[in-house]
Amino acid sequence: MLQAGCAVGGHKVTSVRGVFRFIYDEGKFKAFYRGNGTNIIKIAPETAIKFWAYENMKLVLTHNHLQPLSIFDRFVAGAIAGLTAQFCIYPLEITKTRLAISKPGEYKGIAHCLSQIVAREGPWALYKGLLPALSGVVPYSGVDLTVYSLLRDLYDRHYPYNNPSAVTLLACGAISSSCGQLVAYPLVVIRTRMQVQGMEDRPVVYTGMLDCLKKIYASEGIRGFYRGILPNFMKAIPAISISYLVYEKTKRYLSELRSPFFFS
């Protein structure tokens, strides 16, 4: 919620503390959770699709593990996995952003928000900002999954007989997520600005991704592309680290289930 509030701009306040107070004054603590229901609904399929696509792309690029996986291969696999997941859940991404920055009572829920977007702006409005979103997910997912897999390989080389601890997996996820966020965050800001234009009290000011980039730079400079990155780090790093931990633990558990020793 804080990240969306900072990224979209249009407020008299520009600091994280200022946006925090602005949101609190609008609807107390409940206001910080607007759009969270959509986020919960979208995160499960998004994460599942991303990891499924990543594992399958690694198989394709290594010809079913017959060839070693290069850094470029890891990046391509991560980028395609991110693209696939983002495209599949994007209408929910739009809904989450609209609910997060809307006025209290403007939308009654997820279904109402979706129907209002389609009624007011047409079905294509559910894909507003898709190009910058897909453009942003390529470097983010590519860097994130590449760095994570390299860190895991590094651990396995140094400790070949030990499974990584939960703390190790969380640390690998935090580092990889931070790298991905730093590279891709300007495109997150562009995507968010384009998603919310056309809402009540938010006129359409950007004709496209390039126009949005030019106008942000002209009015806010480089700093404008990193508005909201601190609350984004506070949200994304623990969330993504935990998703990697659950992913690794689930993989290990399923591998043990398939092992003949498990049934002996």
pLDDT of amino acid 166: 94
Residues in Cβ contact with 103 at an 8 Å cutoff, skipping those fewer than 6 apart: 26, 200
Reading phi first (left if > 0) and then psi (alpha if -120 to 50, else beta), residue 28 is in left
Q: At residue 4, does pLDDT exceed 80?
A: no
Region 192-211: mean pLDDT is: 80
Average pLDDT, the chain: 83
pLDDT, tens only, 181-198: 999 999 888 888 887 777
Residues in Cβ contact with 219 at an 8 Å cutoff, skipping those fewer than 6 apart: none
Quote the CA–CA distance of 14 and 220 in Å, as a whole number.
11
Quote the CA–CA distance of 9 and 27 in Å, as a whole number.
19
Greater confidence (65 vs 218) lies with 218
Identity of the highest mean pLDDT range in 12-26, 120-134, 155-169:
155-169
Neighbours of 161 (CB within 10 A): 5
Q: At residue 2, does pLDDT exceed 60?
A: no
Polymer length in residues for the chain: 264
Quote the CA–CA distance of 176 and 15 in Å, as a whole number.
26
Quote the CA–CA distance of 194 and 213 in Å, as a whole number.
10
Region 129-141: mean pLDDT is: 87
CA atoms within 13 A on the CB side of 7: 28
pLDDT-derived band at 3, boundaries 50, 70, 90: very low
Token code pair at residue 37: 């229901």
Region 81-104: mean pLDDT is: 86
Q: At residue 261, does pLDDT exceed 60?
A: no
Fold of 2-263: Mitochondrial carrier fold (1.50.40)
pLDDT of amino acid 140: 93
Quote the CA–CA distance of 209 and 187 in Å, as a whole number.
9
pLDDT, tens only, 233-247: 888 889 899 999 999
Q: At residue 67, does pLDDT exceed 80?
A: yes
pLDDT of amino acid 35: 56
Quote the CA–CA distance of 170 and 107 in Å, as a whole number.
36
Contact 73, 61 (CB under 8 A): yes
pLDDT-derived band at 8, boundaries 50, 70, 90: low
pLDDT, tens only, 34-48: 556 677 788 889 999
Greater confidence (125 vs 7) lies with 125
Token code pair at residue 107: 């939308």
